[in-house]
Amino acid sequence: MNYYERTLILTLLVIACLLGLHFLPSMAVGEVELRRVNLLSDLFPERTAVESEETVLPESDPVTVQTEERAAFVTECPEGVTCIEDYADSLAEGMEPFYRKLAEAGSVGTPVRIAYFGDSFIEGDIFTADLRDLLQSRFGGCGVGFVDIASVTSGFRQSVRATSRNFHIHSITDSIFNRTYMGVNERYFTTGAGSASVTLSGTRYGNCTGRASRSSVYFLTTGPLQVSARVNDDDRRVYSFSGKTVLQHATVEGDIRKVAWTVERDSLMSPAYFYGTTMDCDTGIILDNFSLRGSSGQTLASIPRGHLEEFARLRPYDLIVLHFGLNVAHAKSAALRYKGYVMQMQKVIRLFREVYPQASLLIVSVSDRDARNEKGEITTMNGIRSLVTAQQNLARESGTAFWNLFQAMGGEGSMKELAEKQPPMANKDYTHLNFRGGRFLAQKFYDALMAGVANYERKMNYEKN
């Protein structure tokens, strides 16, 4: 007999023994019952007492079986509205803190502050002026918020009349710029010899820009500084400051329709840097427009963290909007070519999230931008669609909210349509809005925010019940 036959016989004997063990009755050692050997359990599973016998419960013990579970809460988006998509993860609240602030705006005595960062699309307070007016008309508030100490577009802005004298502008887009002193608006302003002044006056643009109850001026000075305010051309109020390493501000209150701030410096040997003035109310909506022509948004990451923290201490925000893209898009750009842009914007998001932990963050996509193709036809620039996708992925990856402005305004060719309306709602550069177009798109954004507030309130009621 060879070894193969011996192995086969041994195997058959082992199987026979195991099969024999299957038919042995249950056994116990003391009070411990031994487990039965059931080689064929996968083919013939043992029947439990519940399976083998019909169990009858006594009539005195009724059992209620719940056959339905409560449906999960589902957000709703009204027809015709491009709603905000919130990509916040389980560790972040996303837009909910801001919606909560809006929902409570009428019952609490604190303002709801919005910082809206953008490029030339919102220059001159286009779009943001009408968004501010819509929000203030519903939730209260007045004034135009933050205004640069000096601006080359001050005569163009309709929501406030602003004039300045003897201030010099320094912007991050300049060829020579000291980032050490950069403010939240990515600028700083210096003065020459003698006095310098800035005057703000309310206008009738919208319902709430004619007056304010509070005005401030923000600055950093290393030496003594005298600041005065004249409200509605009345008597001057004078404030004296000593040199400090932190951001300072002077504030005046009252029924303000016009305010003139004047700076007097004893010596130019001690540097002083100025940033902006404000016209606000103590309650309701405050919306600050931080527009920077030519910006891609990436330079926001270079604001000195200490300076940003100082601004956050004096002027905290409940919502921070990042609306860029016109200076990033290119006709030959593809999604892969936006990779560097996305990585830099992730740094911006991390910085603002760390400095403003209480604020909701919202990315607004680039608008439609049209150009002539090789056939001479005006159509959407090829790189726009890829950039919108990249910005949406940026929001998804960073756990922030996203609003698709490109979709809300009508998608491909929508900028051309706005430019060719009568009267026109956009310029013939097929890139920028005029004030009519700003009002049109502000309504779209306002509707998206109100849909978010409505869903928040529905969710709160759902959780209570």
Closest CA to 199 of 125, 145, 250, 262: 262
Q: Are 125 and 157 in contact (CB under 8 A)?
A: yes
3-state secondary structure of 345: helix
Distance CA 284, CA 140 (A): 4
Over range 403-428, report the average pLDDT. Answer: 97
Pair of tokens at residue 426: 């956009």
Residue-wise pLDDT for 364-387, tens only, equals 999 999 988 888 889 999 889 999
Closest CA to 371 of 326, 402, 339: 326
pTM (predicted TM-score):
0.83
> Is the model more confident about 109 or about 184?
184
The total of other beta-carbon atoms located within 10 Å of residue 391's CB is 28
Pair of tokens at residue 381: 């620039």
pLDDT at 279 over 60: yes
| Dihedral of alpha carbons 5, 10, 16, 22, sign | negative
DSSP 280: B
Distance CA 457, CA 96 (A): 10
pLDDT at 255 over 80: yes
Q: Which of 62-76, 195-209, 316-330, 419-433 has the lowest mean pLDDT?
A: 62-76
Pair of tokens at residue 68: 């339905």
DSSP 152: T
pLDDT at 257 over 50: yes
Q: What is the pLDDT of residue 40?
A: 52
Pair of tokens at residue 80: 């015709």
pLDDT at 301 over 90: yes
Long-range contacts, 70-77 (Cβ 8 Å, 24+):
73/458, 73/459, 73/462, 73/463, 75/455, 75/459, 76/451, 76/454, 76/455, 76/458, 77/451
Q: What is the pLDDT of residue 24?
A: 57
Write the DSSP string, 249-311. EEEEEEEESEEEEEEE-S-TTS-EEEEEEEEB-SSEEEEEEEE-TT--SGGGGGS-HHHHHHH
At 194, the pLDDT band (50, 70, 90 cuts) reads confident
What's the longest Cα–Cα distance across the chain? Answer: 124
Residue-wise pLDDT for 31-61, tens only, equals 444 455 555 544 444 443 333 333 343 444 4
Distance CA 115, CA 315 (A): 10
CA 88 to chain centre: 11
Q: Are 259 and 229 in contact (CB under 8 A)?
A: yes
User: How far apart, in Å, are the Cα atoms of 140 and each of 105, 110, 134, 176?
Assistant: 8, 11, 10, 42
pLDDT at 200 over 70: yes
Q: What is the pLDDT of residue 138?
A: 95
Residue-wise pLDDT for 148-192, tens only, equals 999 988 888 999 999 999 999 999 999 899 999 999 999 999 998
Helices (H) and strands (E) in the chain — how many of each? 10, 21
Distance CA 188, CA 92 (A): 33
pLDDT at 328 over 60: yes
